[in-house]
Amino acid sequence: MPQAEAEKVAGWQGGALPFAISSKKLGMWLFILSDALTFGVLLVCYSYLRLSTENWPRPFSFSPDILIAAVMTFCLLSNGLTVALAAAAPDARATIKWLLVTIASGLVFLILFGYEWQHLINAEQLKLMSNRWGVPLFGASFFLLTGLHMLHVVSGLIYLSVVTFNFRRGAASRDDLEVCALYWHFVDLVWVFIFPSVYLLSVKGNG
């Protein structure tokens, strides 16, 4: 067997690094695997409730609801770019600069999220277990799904801040940054499903 082929075969036979990634990264992938199942099941539940309920509410007007959700999407997608630029930056100064931009943009996302919830609760009378459309499951599923995502964004910001602080004082490596970026991209990944299924399929006056 040629040497190159033998090396390739050996790589598939397990050993210390069967996936050829660090243990930290493998740990994060395993976490993402389990969390993806959690969100997957919640999205299936949401879709089930939505399809099986005849008068499912369509409360989201273009302004402010959809507009705010679109800006939130822009913030999260841009976060994905800035965290990737931070991980790939040639020097520590540029890395920290991009990490701070990511944190700032994540905070904007959270502020908009808070405003959106406040608007729905006060102006649209959307509560956890009741609403003016008479479909209590709408509020329960909306707040559970978006709330769990918000919790992930808050955890991500804390994680990112700790890694930035540690990287600045030399206690975190580029590998730690990559693992943190992996988590942050997962938060983006979940949002690209929440945005259309929760917001865009419930726009006011369509359907």
Partner 1 sequence: MAKASNKTDLLVWLALLALTIAELAISYRPSSWNALLLIAIAVVQAGLIIAYSMHLKYERASLGLALVSILVIWISLFMLFFPDSLRLLKLGTN
Consecutive H or E run containing 96: helix 92-122
Task: State the Cα–Cα distance between residues 73 and 175, nearest whole angstrom.
Answer: 27
Distance, in Å, from the CA atom of 69 to the CA atom of 201, rounded to the nearest integer, reads: 13
Minimum Å gap between C-beta 201 and partner 1 is 6
**Bond prior to 57 in cis (omega within 30° of 0):** no
Q: What angle do CA 145, 149, 152 make, to 5 degrees?
A: 150
What is the DSSP annotation of 10-22? HHTT-SS-TTSS-
Residue closer to partner 1, measured from CB, 121 or 182: 182
Q: Which of 22, 61, 85, 112 binds partner 1 (CB under 8 A)?
A: 85
> Which window, 106-114, 156-164, 165-173, 188-196, contacts partner 1 (CB under 8 A)?
188-196
Question: With binding defined as CB under 8 A, does residue 179 bind partner 1?
Answer: no
Does the CA dihedral 38-41-42-43 come out positive or negative? positive
Grouping H, G, I as helix, E, B as strand and the rest as coil, residue 16 is: coil
**For residues 44 and 123, which CB has a smaller minimum distance to partner 1 in the complex?**
44
Report the alpha-carbon distance of residue 113 to residue 96 in Å, rounded: 26
Subset of 53-82 contacting partner 1 (CB under 8 A): 53-55, 62, 66, 70, 73-74, 77-78, 80-81
Q: Which is nearer to partner 1, 81 or 121 (CB)?
A: 81
| CB of 196 vs partner 1, minimal distance in Å | 4
Binding site for partner 1 (CB under 8 A): 11-12, 18-21, 29, 33, 36-37, 40-41, 44, 47-49, 51-55, 62, 66, 70, 73-74, 77-78, 80-81, 84-85, 88, 135, 182, 185-186, 188-189, 192-193, 195-197, 200-201, 203, 206-207
